[in-house]
Amino acid sequence: MKKIVLGCIADDFTGATDLANNLVRAGMRVVQTIGVPSGPLGAEVDAVVVALKSRTVPPAQAVAESLAALAWLQAQGAQQIYFKYCSTFDSTARGNIGPVTEALMDALQTNFTIATPAFPDNQRTVFKGYLFVGDVLLSESGMQNHPLTPMADANLVRVLQSQTTRRVGLIAHTVVARGAPAVRERMAQLQAEGVGVAIVDAVSNDDLLRLGPALKGMPLVTAGSGVAIALPANFGITPSDQASRLPVASGLQAVVSGSCSLATNRQVLDFMKQGHPALAIDPLRIASGADVAAEVLAWAKPLLTQGPVLVYSTADSSDVKSVQGRLGVEEAGAMVERTLAAVARGLVQLGVRQLVVAGGETSGACVQALGITQMQIGPQIDPGVPWCHAAIEPPRPALRVLAAPQGGVADLGAARRSSATTGDGGLHLALKSGNFGSDDFFTKAFTMLK
Ligand code: ADP
């Protein structure tokens, strides 16, 4: 099998899809894996994005997982490694962007890399080392109040310096604007001064495209997903429809939504307004012990043959707060995730082969319940959300689903692996993180697959 050229390590699941989506749009054929695979790849691609969940775990664990991903990517032939983090530079006081960057540099025996979360398509820009979200500094964007990764300082040189023993420097916009030769010159100068990691300014896609050629041959690049638009050209790869080609879609259609973001609330309303059947899940009913997943599947079964159905726990913030007040924040979240994951698994067993999942955590739970470990990345539906395709088990009788204990997750992995060899068409999946997507996202997604 042909070797991959670019190996990517992403510190969370939907961020990995976002990166993969940008690489595909720039012409690479990409597979995203959930965690570090235990064996070789099943498809011939240019890049692999290994999705970890390492953003907020203890630094030593993030380092160990990232190094395991690195070793696997190197075994697949990766010539360049891309460490991908959030475009809001989400990190705790201890890391993990600094520690992971440093560990990867050590393992790759390189003394220099860049760091830039710039993603102009999503209004993340870096200027004089300061990260802006839209028109305001990161530290005024709401991210200063994030429950897990509060970002109270927008100066990325300072933030990264506090997480690493390597010296952190800056490649300012005045340099980037002059193009790749000027960037290379500045990199050489910074290295001579003992700088190990350079924050790079970028306020537009043009800046990222000017930066791209200067990254050719660099063993390690660290960035948000923005820089991805400029890397495939370094390997002689240009945008092409071939890169996003997936098998022809078939089967029934469904949406499972556990996101309570404003955008998802609008999308749920829009789907219902267009006349499609939708069923709300009540977290308090789950807590009462009812087999909500079985009830939902019994409701969906006769409707699925007529078109897409929606199952949602999506609610506005006052309803969510009230439920959280009664059940506890984590317990409510975990209960809903378990139920929606069981619903997703049951829907696939009923014949759904085009599945949209809304919510980052919800997506993680559903993908795990479906036993999916690798996804081929296809065409973009909306910025940051592509259709993906995964091998799955052959259909099973619905009876099994309805009798399954609620929240119980069967091992579908073995069956999934067998479907990879029998080639039964697999599952088209769109995993949408909270605030992504236009109001008509759910219907638009299915129209796109026709
Ligand atoms: P997003 O991408 O919008 O953040 P996530 O799926 O990551 O969506 O997170 C939403 C969280 O809220 C999940 O843990 C989910 O189980 C939980 N949740 C969903 N609906 C409700 C609800 N009605 N009440 C309480 N928690 C909910």
pLDDT, tens digit (0-9, with 9 covering 90-100), for 335-374: 999 999 999 999 999 999 999 999 988 998 999 999 999 9
pLDDT at 408: 35
Q: Do strands 6-10 and 80-84 pair parallel, antiparallel, or not at all (unpaired)?
A: parallel
Q: How confident is the model at residue 192 (pLDDT cuts 50, 70, 90)?
A: very high
- Ligand 1 centroid to 44 CA: how many Å? 35
Domains of the chain, earliest start first: 6-240 (3.40.50.10840), 245-449 (3.40.980.20)
155, amino acid identity: N
pLDDT at 425: 65
pLDDT in tens, 269-302: 999 999 999 999 999 999 999 999 999 999 999 9
Alpha-helical segments (H) within 304-440: 317-327, 329-349, 360-369, 398-403, 413-422
pLDDT at 146: 79
Average pLDDT over the chain reads 91
Residue range 419-446: average pLDDT?
A: 81
**Of 127-131, 145-149, 187-191, 359-363, which range is least confident?**
145-149
Residue range 183-211: average pLDDT?
A: 98
Hey, how many other C-beta atoms are within 10 angstroms of the C-beta on 193? 9
DSSP string, 182-206: HHHHHHHHHHHTTEEEEEE-BSSHH
- Ligand 1 centroid to 434 CA: how many Å? 9
Question: Which amino acid residue places its CA nearest to atom 24 of ligand 1?
Answer: 320
CA–CA separation, 148 and 5 (whole Å): 34
CA–CA separation, 5 and 62 (whole Å): 24
Choose the residue to mutate in 279, 281, 313 for probing ligand 1, maximizing ligand atoms within 8 Å of C-beta: 313
Q: Of the candidates 240, 216, 187, 265, which has an alpha carbon nearest to the alpha carbon of residue 439?
A: 265
CA–CA separation, 406 and 404 (whole Å): 6
- Yes or no: say if 48 and 8 are a contact pair by the CB < 8 Å rule: yes
Residue range 72-84: average pLDDT?
A: 97
The conformation of residue 219, written as its DSSP 8-state character, comes to: S
Q: How confident is the model at residue 394 (pLDDT cuts 50, 70, 90)?
A: low
Q: Of the candidates 378, 429, 423, which has an alpha carbon nearest to the alpha carbon of residue 253?
A: 429
CA–CA separation, 353 and 365 (whole Å): 18
Q: Of the candidates 172, 176, 238, 237, which has an alpha carbon nearest to the alpha carbon of residue 206?
A: 176
Contacts of 2 (CB under 8 A, 6+ apart): 44
Question: Which amino acid residue places its CA nearest to atom 18 of ligand 1?
Answer: 333
The pTM assigned to this predicted structure is: 0.86
Tell me the two tokens of residue 123: 């209004």
Measured from the CA of 14, which atom of ligand 1 is nearest?
2
pLDDT at 417 over 80: no
Residue range 423-432: average pLDDT?
A: 82
CA max distance for the chain = 69
- Ligand 1 centroid to 123 CA: how many Å? 25
- Yes or no: say if 6 and 82 are a contact pair by the CB < 8 Å rule: yes
pLDDT at 40: 84
Measured from the CA of 336, which atom of ligand 1 is nearest?
16
The conformation of residue 98, written as its DSSP 8-state character, comes to: H
- Ligand 1 centroid to 107 CA: how many Å? 37
- Ligand 1 centroid to 427 CA: how many Å? 24
Ligand 1 first shell, C-beta below 6 A: 258-261, 264, 283, 313, 315, 320, 323-324, 332-333, 336-337, 359-362, 433-434
Q: Of the candidates 256, 196, 249, which has an alpha carbon nearest to the alpha carbon of residue 390?
A: 249
Question: Which amino acid residue places its CA nearest to atom 19 of ligand 1?
Answer: 258
Question: Which amino acid residue places its CA nearest to atom 13 of ligand 1?
Answer: 333
- Ligand 1 centroid to 119 CA: how many Å? 25
pLDDT at 179: 98
pLDDT at 143 over 90: no
Q: Do strands 6-10 and 278-280 pair parallel, antiparallel, or not at all (unpaired)?
A: unpaired
